Structure 1
Amino acid sequence: MELGNGQSDVRFDLKKAIKCVDAYSKSVGIECIIIDSDGNPLYLTGGRKDICIFCSRMQNPLKGSINCSNVHLYGSYQAERFGGKYVFFCPMGMVHWASPISVDGSMQGAVLAGPVHMVEPDQFPIDDIASMNQIEESHLDEFKMCIEEIPVIRPDVVENMSELLLMVAEQISAPQSSKYFYERESQEQQSDISKYLQHIKTMGGNDESLSAYPIEKEEELLSLISIGDKAGSQKVLNEIFGYIFFSSGGNFEVIKARVLELIVLLSRAALKGGADVEQIFGLNYKYLSQINSFHSVEELTYWLSKIMMRFTDCVFNLADVKHIDVIYKAVDYIKRNYMKKITLEEVAANVYLSPSYFSKIFKDEMKCNFNNYLNQIRIEVSKKLLADDSIALVDIANLVGYEDQSYFTKVFKKLVGISPGKFREARCSKINLQQR
């Protein structure tokens, strides 16, 4: 279902995008959504009206506590950052994947697919997710029913579907559809800069006072970016461009040097506003490597305007979404690899975070540290294995990731209150009593 106000509101061919996404959705059997660069939905497959088919069914338990648009925007930004595709978990533990729609090297929208599961419903961590999303116990049955309706797709198939979606997004991003939008926006921006140039020329005063760099404008720009004000930021940026052009005498190399300084300042403002450090630094590297490809002031000013918009987008409050995605990915990794010798550093690397930062957010979100959680998972699995008398205790220790049986016994006793041997005896006694 098309939700936008027509193709003139977006910077890519929306009709073409809809055709491509419909074909993809029907082929793989997964619902999709097209969003603009702000996360607003432009089109939903299947004729539906709700942005997320899962959250729409969970409206009463969730009470609007999850902003699905922010979740989609987060996934899109991560896809832009990680080579054009990204598989992620939303706050409800559902799996989605995203690919950006790019115009002239700038993300102008995205295509997302999902939700799906990568585990069977009986393996889904319902209690953990219900707790993290403050779903009341009276709504748990409804939650479980909704989960059972979501398709289950193997991780390797999800990866292949993500690769296909990237191809769809690349087709939508074909350059011929972007020329009109680039020319129109560039002309509007140059008009604003010219008006401001004329304004400062008629202000009076000597050349030295007129060409003095407006530090106060720079500070105003940084303040606006740090609060995510796009319109205000664009206006002030155009004014700064006017000063730079006026004071440089039109020298393109001087203008490029000042633009480089502005990129660094813009990134600092985004960081001050709460943007993700690693993401901003990654974008900085990308942008700084592009500057020598421009050969006119018009190209350069339009490009920097898009950078500013991107940094301003990063200030949006996506930190909570990012943390949820990281935690679910970490938990999924632990549950798939608990039987091996895994470390905090290994899991942190798997979610692209430094060990210290990952350790902090894991403890904040899970209310326990990494090692304690890993031990809990291992001990819960060992309880099930202890029900089988044919498996020796030393083998159980190895099967759940403990190389040392004595250490396994120590951890088990600490968490359960009795040793593995006593637990097995008590369980067997209980079964014998029930059979009499």
Structure 2
Amino acid sequence: MGEEVQERDIYSLIENYSLATNVGCKAFDSEGNMITEISIGNESSFCKLICDCEEGKKDCKQSYINGGLQAEKLGEAYIYSCPYGLVNWAVPILENNKLKYFLTGGPVLIYQVNDLLLKKIVKQNSLLEAKIDEIEVNLSSLNKIDTVRVRHLAEMLMRLAKGLMADNIDELRKRRELNEINARIAETVHSLKQDNEGNEVLYPFEKENELISKVKLGDKEGAREILNEILGFIYFQTGSKFEMVKSKAIELMVILARASIEIGADLEVIFGLEYIYLEEINQVENINQLSGSLAKVLDRFIEATFVLKNVKNKDIIRRAMKYIRKNYDRNIKLDQVASEVGLSASYFSKLFKEELNISYIDYLNRVRIEEGKKLLEKEYPLADIAQMSGFNDQSYFSKVFKKLEGVSPGRWRCEGNKGRIKAEER
């Protein structure tokens, strides 16, 4: 169990923040009860006018609570407008991975006081109409800050809050990552709804092939992007029926395991991971947790496929792999990639082979063949595919392809077309 967050540290934090930024700051417990505040300028006078009536007090408290809970969910700063048109930002303070306190910055104005804002205030609470002149005076003296500075102020408060919860930083990172995953899935679902309203949408088997390709190349970012697209389709097609989504998620895990084994990952390691994550997926209770579990499965399978023996070389090797994946269609040489990561060609070649158990040229060829397989799904001539994949010679392309895939490019294309026809007939 980590150290408890001390309220005296919170008092010190918000005092330093307010004095340094000239922006008000408040601290609340997890129930939304304010434990301390520092106000700047006339913000307290404005808020007091709003809170003089029960309805205004209730609006303000609920707004703060909603901001704090959203910040907790996201694992980062959350910028929002209060019911009366002012801008605030909230950051969470976790203890034992649960919300203990939350801090807010603001309120501030991001535009000039005008009739539209005053009308919004009265519309929110008609009892304030009698005080509108006084409200306008108080509003006019509030901090006016542009949106860029608001974002930086929110990030600064989040950085300070992290200093109070060092033992919970990993939990915050997980929440941010899960939020990003779910946001991308939601984008896919929205896009499918717009583009296919009333029409049947076939399962994107080609996306599974792309996912396998990314796993085989150790492209974690690319694989995650495609996994999110597949999950978005599954949610769209099943109407987010949880058991159906879970069933398809288990199928995807098996596909990922097979791809890792095909490329040379340790069989026992992958089977062990598969068992562990099968248990985890069976125990998840909602779609958000399921998305996070699958992303974790994907990362671990890629790591098991490309085991880096020395942690200090991890960044160098990952950068080199990324550079190769980005420039595979050019005539890139070993010394170019070595220069990109700041090493001599001979040392880089030795390091790459030692860390990944595959030579630079073999990895480059693997990248090119995976890209060539995508092109084979289209009607390009083999000579053009060879060129677009980075091979200067069609015969060499065919030779490498057969070595890696066990069949010629022409045979692979033919068998792939048969498979797609069968899939479409299902």
Scaled to the shorter chain, the TM-score interval is: 0.3 to 0.5
Q: TM-score, normalised by structure 2?
A: 0.38
Which is bigger in relative contact order (C-alpha 8 A, separation at least 6)?
Answer: 1
Q: TM-score, normalised by structure 1?
A: 0.37
